[in-house]
Amino acid sequence: MKQTARVAILGATGAVGTELLELLESRDFPIESLKLLASERSAGKTLPFKGESLSIEAVNENSFRDIDIVLASAGGSTSKAWAKTIVESGATLIDNSSAFRMNPDVPLVVPEVNPESVAKHRGIIANPNCTTILLGVAIWPLHQVRPIERAIVSTYQSASGAGARAMEELKEQARAILENRQPPTNSFPYPLAFNLFPHNTPINDLGYCEEEMKMVNETRKIFGVPEFRLSATCVRVPVDRAHSESVNLEFSSPFPVEKAREILSSAPGVKLVEDWKANYFPMPIDATGRDEVLVGRIRQDISNPNALELWLCGDQIRKGAALNAVQIAELLVEKNLVRVLG
């Protein structure tokens, strides 16, 4: 008999939370029961699920009793506040925040890359950063054939990475600018509409921002290569949803473009998108709402015979967050690793 799980979504009303709900339904996740949790201000509201309206409950100390899996996307402070309660209740926390990603006792998992890591969990599994997930899905298949010696990545990150309010603010900014009004800047430090700026997370002494270091450190942990050489430049761009990345990969010897194309065309979680005659390659508008990471424009780096370049786009809310978390939950059920109270 197929194992079922009692699931709770913590942060059910956010952009990722509502996507989690949709994915649990569309993927027919084996749910025994489902609980939607959020803050006091959202309590009593309802969300649709399989033809029913589920009420949202305010999270409290008793919320995780008789729950097997908690899918959390309510921010790092909320995850930290409830992690102990969740684990002590016997549930497994799959956390979408950065709170536990670099904890050596917490697996950091991309199912297409390191699914075996879920077996090492002690009650908490971390979902990586969105840009890290998209990058990992795209380059891991190549790394398996010939280890990558160095990666240079530039990201083009959409408003969705800052949440539902930021997505709405981008639209409000565009309207304001077109109407010659001052654009609001509540979610962003500067106007994003008709503009772009380097990611505004704190910058370290080396000149790298927090978002860039997440890509470096998380990729090293997921790949199991502590010295993996990666440098990233993260940029926020005026796109509603779906991130893009320009990637340069250096190997120890030439990696034939056709071989790379062949590998990626059949890689799990990847869809090759290339029409060279039409100059048509992955775009955020095409990646939005899709599960796959769209990869294309694979080419030889003319400055380095041992390097390849590629371009990718992926839905930040979907594969970059909610889908990856649901896939982790599916692994737990499949491998009978759900921590259920006896």
Residues marked as catalytic: 130, 243
Decide if 255 contacts 142 (C-beta within 8 A): yes
Q: Is 14 marked as binding a ligand?
A: yes
How far is 278 from 20, CA to CA, in rounded Å?
A: 35
172 annotated as a binding-site residue: no
Contact indicator for 18, 317 with CB cutoff of 8 Å? no
173 annotated ligand binder: no
Q: Is 151 flagged in the annotation as binding?
A: no
Rounded Cα distance between 224 and 260, Å, is: 22
Paired tokens of 289: 């709402």
Residue 161 among known ligand-binding residues: yes
The two tokens of residue 307 are 């390097």
165 is in an annotated binding site: no
Buried b (16+ CB within 10 A) or exposed e, 109-130: bbbbbbbebbeebebbbbbbbb
Whole-angstrom Cα distance, residue 5 to residue 133?
25
- How far apart CA 208 and CA 215 sit, in angstroms, is 11
15 annotated to bind ligand: yes
Give CA–CA dist 235/227, Å, rounded.
24
Q: Is residue 232 within 8 Å of residue 216, measured between CB atoms? A: yes
Q: Is 13 part of any known ligand binding site? A: yes
What per-residue string of b and e applies to 301-314 under the rule 16 or more CB within 10 Å gives b?
A: eeeeebbbbbbbbb
Q: Under 8 Å CB-to-CB from 206, ≥6 apart: which residues?
A: none
**41 annotated among ligand-binding-site residues:** yes
Distance in Å from the first CA to the final CA of the chain: 18
Q: Is residue 76 annotated as involved in ligand binding? A: no
Q: Are 304 and 250 in contact (CB under 8 A)?
A: yes
Q: How far apart are CA 138 and CA 290, in angstroms?
A: 15
Tokens in use for 261?
């194309």
Is 17 one of the annotated binding-site residues?
no
Q: Judge whether 4 is annotated as a binding position.
A: no
Binding residues for NADP(+): 13-16, 41-42, 160-161, 184, 316
Binding residues: 13-16, 41-42, 101, 157, 160-161, 184, 210, 236, 316
Binding residues for substrate: 157, 210, 236
Binding residues for phosphate: 101
